[in-house]
Structure 1
Amino acid sequence: MAPPFHRQTGCLQASEIGSRTLGDWLPSNKTAIQHWVNTKASEAKRCHNGTLEPVIQDFKQAIESDPVLSRYADQMFVEVPNKYKAPYNETPVGNPELRNFSDFLILLDHIIHEGPGWFDKRSPPTANDLIGFPITAALDWPLGTIAGHEFFLSPVVSHHIGRVLDFWALYLGTPPSASVLAGWLSPEGKDQIAAAGNLGGKTNYTFEQLFCCPNTSAPYLGYKTWDQYFVREFNPGIRPIAAPDNQTFDPEYHVDPTLIIDNACESAPLQQPYSLTNMLNFHPLANTFVGGTVYQAYLSTLSYHRWHAPVSGRIVHIENVPGTYYSGNLFTGLAETSYTGQAPDDSAPNYSQPYISAVATRGIVYIQARNPAIGLMAIVFVGMGEVSSCEFTVDVGQEVNKGDQLGMFHFGGSTHVMVFQPGVELDFVKPIPHGDVASGSFLSETNFAVRSALAVVRT
């Protein structure tokens, strides 16, 4: 008997989003973030020798030379404690450690000279759950203020933040960055990553059985850099292609396999509203998707970070959009209380997912599916927080088969959006969340496996 389908057409939407930290890039416990940032900020001040990395010094000078940006830079920190009642009068760093832009730059300079660490929460007080977004942790509430909104929308700020992240990306590709892998590849670290890879207990593989390890007898399993570890691949056979197109009839779903759309990323779905034209960067093809279907899913800290083709077809267009960094929706950060009286987003990037998909750094690819029932589709790979880059490994005009690699995220949070044209009606193989958004049930707790069957096109 064919598996049940979950019928869904049109855009997936939600009027609001629950207070969740998507993908566990930051702890849901705000005390954990406070302790971590306080510890790192104190450490940065102790280590600071009075000089900043040139890219950060350039950033500092650019802000100080602009009276408006300089005012926003300091105001986004003081707005938090001065304008709101407890518990919103304390930033995620607690009370004293980051109270101005200069303190933040010292911490930023410290962060970009090390890899993201793994913190064993069994060893208090400095072990504070997983901090996948160290820079976002420092800006957790300031970037949701009115001043923070204006500051991070500035092209000047985006330019300099991009240069800082480019510097960090280069560092994460060097051998010294591998020193933090002692924690990520500790027994606890490997167990947690393997648990995510086993999709909630559906399999029981070890880390080494799940992932390609360059040399299991070498330090850090042979991973030479943080980035090499982050973009690790699954071992052959771990993520088989569901319904490959080279078979004439799919025995599981009882349809033409070319009508089956596979999952592009190892990710969990969520429900959100979108601005298609903004998200697709006002490309002429964007209008052809108005009234179609949008599917979004987010990648967790422990996920696999490469992308794969959901259908077979030809690469029509590829675009890398610089976008903004750390920009949150004005109505979903602390500024929300000024307009609606609702509680603020205690981790501003969470509520801003639809907004981020339209303004953040992102890579966009259009694929003309071989099966005309699917036609032209687009996939948007969105960088969140301190994502280093969205790298495509395919070229325009190239033919791809379902399951082929398309590219990857290099460090940082990420989400992806698949867009189908109107008339393409999808029956989802797995249920899409439709629950109580206030409680966070708008998202799935378990990843959908990359290259697994996601939906079937109704004919």
Structure 2
Amino acid sequence: MVKHLLRLMTELSSYRWLSRLMGAFSHSRLSRKLIPTFIRMYQIPAGEAEKDPGQYHSLNEFFSRRLKPGMRPVAGGDGLVASPVDARITAMGELDSGTIMNVKGQDYRLEELLNHSPHLESYKKGFFFVLYLSPTDYHRIHAPISGRKVESDYIRGRAYPVNEFGMTHMKNVLSRNERLITYIAGADGEAAVVKVGAMNVSSIRYSDEQAESWNIGDDLAYFEFGSTVVLLLESGTFTPRPDLTSDTKVRMGELLGTMKRLD
């Protein structure tokens, strides 16, 4: 009974008008008064931020904060793939004929996640990471590989929570929520960075709308409040770091694995 009630409440709160309302408040100067409470509640390492907490004009500005230089060393070298975010790995593995298997007990079809993009053919036997960002985490998204932008695709959607409850009890959250997808072509293969919006997230934004290429670790985009990134690596190109498993906590810039040049 409680589970059904929570599911109903989540369905009702997933509409974009409510997210816009919450977003408007988080952008207001009034919301800055919540920053100290937010830091304490989620034990955020505020000392890593590029500015003192009192210098941020809104809760949203603090949430999408940049870090001081050197806070996240980035894996460097040819053919490397770095984590685009601070996150916990919710699921990882090889795609099975275009299906992301067993993410909190659910399977996801690639054509639904990528909104039937022709790019999906490149990933049907590729590798995936589902990376969940909690409110504690740094919320900017960085380039996982060096390369050029092939395409950017924005998909309107709902705003279901991507926390434990949402991912377990709501159907196909990753494919139903708002998504901003960046396809990046590197020297050794292509990567798709699927940025998935969440409840009370007012938007997902590029850090530089005009950028056409990135080096590994460059600032790519940011969330306004917590969410998830699905990282896809092109079929036949990726070898994961052997010690990584689901539930591993990773930091932005940390090595995820290597890509090899396609024949």
Residue 25 of structure 1 aligns with which residue? none
1:264 is the counterpart of 2:84: yes
Q: How many percent identity over aligned positions? A: 23
Paired letter, 1:452: E
CA distance in 2, matches of 1:283, 1:268: 27
Aligned to 2:96: none
Task: Give the superposition deviation at 1:378.
Answer: 0.7
Q: 1:240 to 1:396 in 2, by over 3 A?
A: same
- What secondary structure, in the 3-state scheme, does the structure 2 residue paired with 1:358 have? helix
Residues 296 and 415 in structure 1, CA contact (< 8 A), matched pair in contact too: yes
TM-score (norm 1): 0.50
1:189 deviates by 4.6
- Name 1:416's counterpart in structure 2: 229
Taking structure 2 as the reference length, what is the TM-score of the superposition?
0.84
Match of 1:365 among 162, 166, 182: 182
Distance 2:152 2:212 in 1: 11
Q: Counterpart of 1:401?
A: 215
Which structure has more RCO (C-alpha within 8 Å, separation ≥ 6)? 2
The structure with the largest strand share of the pair is 2
Q: How many Å apart are 1:286 and its aligned residue?
A: 1.4
Secondary structure at 1:141's aligned position in 2? helix
User: 2:84 and 2:3 mapped to 1: Cα distance?
Assistant: 41
Q: 2:168 aligns with which of 351, 368, 379?
A: 351
Q: CA RMSD in A?
A: 2.7
Q: 1:176 to 1:89 in 2, by over 3 A?
A: closer
Change (3 A) 1:221 1:415: same
- Aligned equivalent of 2:116: 282
Aligned to 2:50: 212
Per the alignment, do residues 353 and 314 of structure 1 end up closer, same or farther by CA in structure 2, a change over 3 Å counting?
A: farther
The correspondence for 2:8, drawn from 113, 135, 142, is: 142
Cα deviation, residue 393, structure 1: 2.4
The structure with the larger Rg is 1
Q: What is the match of residue 137 of structure 2? A: 303
Q: Which of 56, 60, 74 is equivalent to 1:227?
A: 60
Equivalent position amino acid for 1:415 in 2 = T
In 2, the alpha carbon distance for the partners of 1:390 and 1:397 equals 16
The size of the alignment, in residue pairs, is: 247
Report if aligned partners of 2:147, 2:184 keep a CA contact under 8 Å in 1. Answer: yes
Per the TM alignment, residue 267 of structure 1 is displaced from its structure 2 partner at its CA by: 0.7
Report the alpha carbon displacement of residue 294 of structure 1 after superposing the two structures with TM.
Answer: 1.2
Determine if contact 2:19/2:199 at 8 Å carries over to the other structure. Answer: no
Task: Note if 1:193 corresponds to 2:193.
Answer: no
State the shift of 1:229 in Å. 0.8
Residues 300-333 of structure 1: CA distance to partner in whole angstroms, max 9, x if unpaired? 11000000001111011111211123389xxxxx
1:238 aligns with one of 38, 62, 71: 71
Shift in alpha-carbon separation, 1:367–1:90, aligned structure 2, 3 A: closer
CA offset digits 1:176-225 (Å, max 9, x no partner): 1112123124xx458x212xxxxxxxxxxxx32x1112xx4xxx421111
Mapped to 1, the partners of 2:26 and 2:166 lie a distance apart of 23
Gaps of 5+ in 1: 1-79, 81-87, 92-139, 195-206, 244-256, 329-346, 434-442
Match for 2:141: what amino acid?
W
Report if the CA contact (8 A) 2:7-2:169 is conserved: no
Provide structure 2 residue ranges, at least 5 long, that are not aligned to the other structure: 92-102
- CA distance 1:176–1:303, shift in 2 (3 Å): same
Moved over 6 A (4+): none
Whether 1:291 and 2:125 are equivalent positions in the alignment is yes
Instruction: Output the CA distance in 2 between the equivalents of 1:174 and 1:90.
Output: 34
1:184 aligns with 2:28: no
User: What code does the residue aligned with 1:448 have?
Assistant: V
User: 1:294·1:419 contact (CA, 8 Å) conserved in 2?
Assistant: yes
Q: Which amino acid aligns with 1:237?
A: G
